[in-house]
């Protein structure tokens, strides 16, 4: 028995179709969501697909990778040349100049382009971002970087062009003929407007590069072939007109300036130096004649009540140069007085009175003269000041009783009469000198030139690598003794040089000497105390010793010496014999003794109340020094013994 099929209920087929559609839609939504999530995860730190910069694809790259790729491809590519032409109607109309865009400072802002690429599809609104990403994937989006000119490079490239294309306006001429002013008419000119021209060049480059835009062709067709990496840059030169601005003559009313010139040149300018009893200054007078004043005229553009004019004055530099010459003629440094001191009676005795100095303040004098000119005056008193000595007898008497704050002693036993004479002369230069508070003391400054004319005798002196006869042998005995006084006073030693080799007169101790050589090798130390120091010297010929004593007020410093420590002994070497034609035959004279080379280190330890001890090293490196002899020439053979 056959079963009859059950009849379908009405509407059941339609319901199945709806379910199928819904399932398909749901699957599509899920697939789209999964695809979108996968796409987003793939590009979360990368630029979205389809983006390029001037035709260089960068989709799928991280920003730094994209920047490197664009730089590698576009960075070396040349922007188009710029042809600047003169269409301004001047004498250079029709002229043109071709300049590379990069020579004008044109640069593509690739960083800005990469930043724009990164933000594409990341606007923050999901539905819009999805559309943008899909559109970039389908059509592609090409970004054009901003372009700008670097101002300094552009100005440097434009300067020679501007100098040819422009011509300056000519001011109404104000000139001096003889001693009278004359006025000539001015003429308009034109200048290159660099800012406007720069803007025109940038606009031309932007137009040539185009704008960022969506692709017109679906990229599905482009995917059929390889992406191009040839940058999309224009190659044809860009014609850009130079932009000019008219310049009008500034000076339109020169009548007042003409009158000012005539007034300045009507009579000489008189400079006076008044007498000063305190400084022993005699009155003096200098007249600057009209011709000199005419050569000093300074004319500059200015703005007056009725428009542009000219300002007339005296050239500051010319005036200052003239006043500097006057300053040299009247300048006189103060002469410090010299004093003696009697320790038993505590009396300060004036050996030689001081003298006030004179000083012309050139800067102030310039202002005085210019102010007088503005006021229409023809006579100016120069601002000369009297400079008093820095140490006075009253200052020393306020410190009585003076204390010996440091003493230096050396022996000159067995010195020649010439050497002893030089010691007397040099030490006398320092007897009675004072060192003002907080000043440096230069030995050479007070010693002066060492010459026969100044009382020095010729004696043996160290010069370069040998000992020679010359004026001043023995001066280093004085500098060494002075150095020792400063050493034991605890004063800061600014400059000190040891001798080239060891000298017996300066030992013991080895390493406590100071060489000087006028005018280059000096001994310099500082009075870092609040009171002046008086220097007294003593040449004790009976004991063959030289003494330097520094008098002042004790600061409580205690000085002790550690060492000397010697090292690096080097033998003197073989004696050196030289023929001296001034000696008689057979005569042999030793002029230098042998001295081994040695390195010496002394340490000065200074202890002051309330302060940590200060340790200072004094290092001396003495060269090995062979003995030197001078011998007379060989005696000629007797007559008849000559060979044939």
**Could you tell me if 354 and 437 lie in one domain?**
no
Q: Say whether pLDDT at 64 is over 60.
A: yes
Report pLDDT for 644: 32
**30 domain residue, yes or no:** no
> pLDDT per residue over 180-206, tens digit each?
555 555 566 778 888 888 888 888 888
Q: Which residue has the tokens 């003076």?
A: 402
Tell me the mean pLDDT in the region 501-519: 91
**Could you tell me if 278 and 318 lie in one domain?**
yes
**Could you tell me if 227 and 267 lie in one domain?**
no
Distance from C-alpha of 548 to C-alpha of 483, rounded to nearest angstrom:
9
**Could you tell me if 327 and 474 lie in one domain?**
no
Report pLDDT for 225: 37
Last residue within a domain, chosen from 326, 360, 389? 389
**Could you tell me if 381 and 350 lie in one domain?**
yes
pLDDT top residue among 351 and 216 = 351
**DSSP states along 431-495:** TT-EE-TTEEEEHHHHH----GGGTPPEEEEEETTEEEEEETTTHHHHHHHHHHHHHHHTPPEEE
Q: Tell me, what DSSP letter sits at residue 187?
A: B
Q: Say whether pLDDT at 255 is over 80.
A: no
**Could you tell me if 261 and 129 lie in one domain?**
no
Q: Range of 311's domain?
A: 255-389
Report pLDDT for 441: 97
**522 domain residue, yes or no:** yes
Last residue within a domain, chosen from 389, 408, 437? 389
Closest CA to 271 of 322, 314, 315: 322
Closest CA to 395 of 434, 353, 439, 357: 434
Count of other CB atoms within 10 angstroms of residue 92 = 19
For residues 95 and 86, the answer to whether their CB atoms sit within 8 Å is yes
Last residue within a domain, chosen from 389, 404, 434? 389
**Could you tell me if 453 and 487 lie in one domain?**
yes
**Could you tell me if 529 and 403 lie in one domain?**
yes
Closest CA to 140 of 71, 66, 48: 48
**Could you tell me if 421 and 545 lie in one domain?**
yes
**643 domain residue, yes or no:** no
Cis check for the bond before 230: say yes or no (omega within 30 of 0).
no
The tokens for 315 are 């050239």
Q: Say whether pLDDT at 46 is over 80.
A: yes
Question: Could you give the C-alpha distances from 536 to 70, 333, 402, 429, 547, in angstroms and in order?
Answer: 83, 23, 12, 10, 8
Which residues, other chains included, contact 59 with Cβ-Cβ below 8 Å and sequence gap of 6+? 46, 47, 48, 49, 50, 51, 52, 136
Count of other CB atoms within 10 angstroms of residue 296 = 19
Q: Say whether pLDDT at 221 is over 50.
A: no
The tokens for 357 are 């100095």
For residues 222 and 136, the answer to whether their CB atoms sit within 8 Å is no
Report pLDDT for 281: 60
The tokens for 65 are 């990778």
Q: Say whether pLDDT at 72 is over 80.
A: yes
**DSSP states along 35-98:** HHHHHHHHTTTSPPTTEEETTEE-TTS-HHHHHHHHHHHHTTSPPPPEEEE--SSSTTTT-EEE
Report pLDDT for 179: 55
What is the number of structural domains in the chain? 3
Least confident of 108-117, 252-261, 286-295, 349-358: 252-261
| 628-631: strand order across its sheet | 576-579, 628-631, 588-592
Tell me the mean pLDDT in the region 591-605: 91
> pLDDT per residue over 623-632, tens digit each?
998 888 889 8
The tokens for 172 are 């109404």
For residues 413 and 448, the answer to whether their CB atoms sit within 8 Å is no
**583 domain residue, yes or no:** yes
Which residues, other chains included, contact 184 with Cβ-Cβ below 8 Å and sequence gap of 6+? 172, 173, 174, 175
**6 domain residue, yes or no:** no
Number of H helices, E strands in the chain: 15, 37
Report pLDDT for 223: 44
Least confident of 59-73, 416-430, 547-561: 59-73
Count of other CB atoms within 10 angstroms of residue 278 = 8
Q: Which helix (H) or strand (E) holds 346?
A: none
**Half-sphere exposure at residue 434, Cβ-oriented, CA atoms within 13 angstroms:** 29
Q: Say whether pLDDT at 16 is over 80.
A: no
Report pLDDT for 532: 97
> pLDDT per residue over 479-494, tens digit each?
999 999 999 999 999 9
**548 domain residue, yes or no:** yes
Q: What percent of the chain has pLDDT over 90?
A: 31
Tell me the mean pLDDT in the region 276-305: 72
**Could you tell me if 478 and 624 lie in one domain?**
yes
Give residue 222's pLDDT band: very low, low, confident or very high (50, 70, 90).
Answer: very low
Distance from C-alpha of 355 to C-alpha of 200, rounded to nearest angstrom:
73
Tell me the mean pLDDT in the region 144-171: 80
pLDDT top residue among 383 and 182 = 383
- Which residues lie across from 525 on neighbouring strands? 441, 493
For residues 550 and 485, the answer to whether their CB atoms sit within 8 Å is yes
Give residue 7's pLDDT band: very low, low, confident or very high (50, 70, 90).
Answer: low
pLDDT top residue among 534 and 185 = 534
For residues 336 and 391, the answer to whether their CB atoms sit within 8 Å is yes
**28 domain residue, yes or no:** no
Tell me the mean pLDDT in the region 319-332: 89
Tell me the mean pLDDT in the region 33-41: 69
**What is the greatest pairwise CA distance in the chain?**
180
For residues 214 and 121, the answer to whether their CB atoms sit within 8 Å is no
Question: Could you give the C-alpha distances from 327 to 170, 321, 361, 366, 382, in angstroms and in order?
Answer: 40, 10, 8, 12, 10
Tell me the mean pLDDT in the region 131-146: 86
Report pLDDT for 268: 87
Q: Say whether pLDDT at 498 is over 90.
A: yes
| CATH number reported for the structural domain that contains residue 284 in this entry | 3.10.20.800
Handedness of CA 322, 325, 330, 334 (dihedral sign): positive
φ, ψ at 419 (rounded to 5°): -65, -40
> pLDDT per residue over 404-449, tens digit each?
999 999 999 988 899 999 999 999 999 999 999 999 999 999 998 8
Q: Say whether pLDDT at 91 is over 80.
A: no
Report pLDDT for 642: 43
For residues 301 and 250, the answer to whether their CB atoms sit within 8 Å is yes
Distance from C-alpha of 111 to C-alpha of 534, rounded to nearest angstrom:
73
Report pLDDT for 640: 46
**249 domain residue, yes or no:** no
**Cα end-to-end distance, the chain, whole Å:** 173
**Could you tell me if 418 and 314 lie in one domain?**
no
Report the 3 state secondary structure along 578-590: EECCCCCCCCEEE
Q: Say whether pLDDT at 326 is over 50.
A: yes
Q: Say whether pLDDT at 220 is over 60.
A: no
Handedness of CA 449, 453, 456, 458 (dihedral sign): positive
The tokens for 434 are 């004072």
**DSSP states along 489-528:** HTPPEEE----SS--GGG-SSTT-----BTTTB--EEEE-
Q: Say whether pLDDT at 535 is over 90.
A: yes
**Could you tell me if 441 and 560 lie in one domain?**
yes
Q: Say whether pLDDT at 265 is over 60.
A: yes
Q: Three-class SS of residue 420?
A: helix
Q: Say whether pLDDT at 80 is over 90.
A: no
Least confident of 201-205, 256-260, 353-357, 426-430: 256-260
Closest CA to 198 of 156, 162, 166, 154: 154
Q: What percent of the chain has pLDDT over 70?
A: 80
φ, ψ at 618 (rounded to 5°): -120, 110
């Amino acid at each position: 028995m056959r079963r009859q099929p059950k009849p379908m209920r009405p509407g059941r087929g339609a319901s199945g179709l709806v379910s199928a559609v819904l399932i398909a839609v749901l699957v599509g939504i899920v697939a789209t969501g999964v695809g979108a999530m996968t796409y987003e995860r793939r590009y979360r730190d990368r630029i979205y697909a389809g983006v390029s910069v001037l035709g260089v694809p960068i989709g799928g790259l991280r920003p730094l990778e994209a920047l490197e790729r664009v730089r590698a491809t576009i960075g070396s590519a040349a922007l188009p040349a710029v042809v600047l032409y003169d269409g301004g109607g001047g004498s250079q109309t029709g002229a043109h100049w071709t300049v590379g865009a990069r020579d004008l400072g044109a640069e593509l802002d690739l960083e800005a382009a990469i930043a724009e690429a990164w933000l594409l599809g990341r606007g923050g609104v999901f539905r819009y971002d999805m559309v943008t990403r899909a559109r970039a994937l389908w059509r592609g989006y090409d970004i054009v970087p901003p372009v700008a000119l670097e101002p300094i490079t552009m100005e440097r490239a434009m300067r020679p062009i501007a100098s040819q294309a422009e011509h300056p306006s000519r001011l109404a001429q104000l000139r001096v003929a003889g001693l009278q002013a004359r006025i000539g008419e001015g003429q308009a000119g034109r200048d290159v407007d660099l800012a406007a021209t720069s803007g025109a060049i940038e606009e031309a480059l932007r137009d040539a590069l185009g704008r960022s835009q969506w692709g017109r062709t679906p990229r599905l067709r482009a995917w059929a072939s390889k992406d191009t990496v040839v940058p999309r840059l224009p190659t044809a030169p860009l014609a850009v007109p130079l932009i000019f601005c008219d310049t009008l003559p500034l000076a339109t009313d020169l009548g007042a300036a003409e009158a000012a010139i005539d007034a300045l040149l009507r009579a000489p300018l008189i400079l006076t130096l008044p007498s000063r009893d305190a400084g022993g200054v005699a009155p003096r007078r200098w007249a600057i004649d009209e011709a000199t004043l005419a050569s000093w005229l300074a004319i500059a553009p200015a703005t007056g009540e009725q428009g542009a004019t000219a300002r007339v004055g005296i050239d500051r530099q010319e005036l200052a140069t003239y006043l500097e010459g006057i300053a040299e003629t009247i300048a006189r440094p103060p002469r410090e007085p010299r004093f003696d001191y009697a320790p038993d009676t505590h009396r300060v005795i004036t050996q030689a009175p001081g003298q006030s100095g004179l000083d012309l303040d050139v800067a102030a004098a310039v202002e005085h003269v210019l102010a007088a000119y503005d006021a229409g005056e023809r006579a100016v008193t120069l601002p000369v000041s009297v400079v008093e000595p820095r140490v006075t007898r009253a200052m020393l008497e306020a410190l009585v009783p003076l204390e010996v704050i440091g003493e230096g002693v050396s022996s000159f036993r067995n010195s020649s009469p010439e050497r002893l004479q030089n010691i007397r002369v040099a030490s006398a230069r320092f007897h009675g000198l004072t060192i003002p508070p907080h000043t440096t003391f230069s030995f050479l400054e007070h010693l002066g030139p060492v010459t026969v004319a100044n009382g020095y005798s010729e004696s043996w002196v160290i010069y370069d690598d040998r000992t020679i006869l010359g004026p001043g042998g023995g001066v280093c005995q004085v500098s060494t003794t002075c150095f020792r006084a400063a050493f034991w006073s605890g004063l800061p030693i600014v400059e000190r040089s040891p001798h080239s080799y060891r000298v017996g007169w300066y030992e013991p101790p080895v390493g406590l000497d100071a060489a000087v050589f006028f005018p280059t090798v000096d001994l310099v130390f500082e009075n870092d105390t609040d009171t002046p120091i008086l220097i007294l010297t003593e040449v004790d010929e009976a004991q063959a010793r030289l003494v330097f004593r520094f008098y002042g007020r004790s600061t409580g410093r205690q000085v002790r010496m550690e060492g000397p420590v010697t090292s690096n002994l080097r033998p003197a070497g073989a004696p050196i014999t030289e023929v001296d034609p001034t000696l008689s035959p057979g005569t042999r004279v030793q002029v230098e003794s042998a001295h081994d080379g040695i390195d010496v280190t002394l340490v000065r330890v200074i202890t002051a109340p309330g302060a940590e001890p200060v340790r200072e090293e004094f290092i001396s490196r003495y060269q090995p020094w062979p003995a030197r002899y001078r011998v007379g020439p060989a005696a000629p053979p007797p007559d008849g013994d000559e060979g044939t």
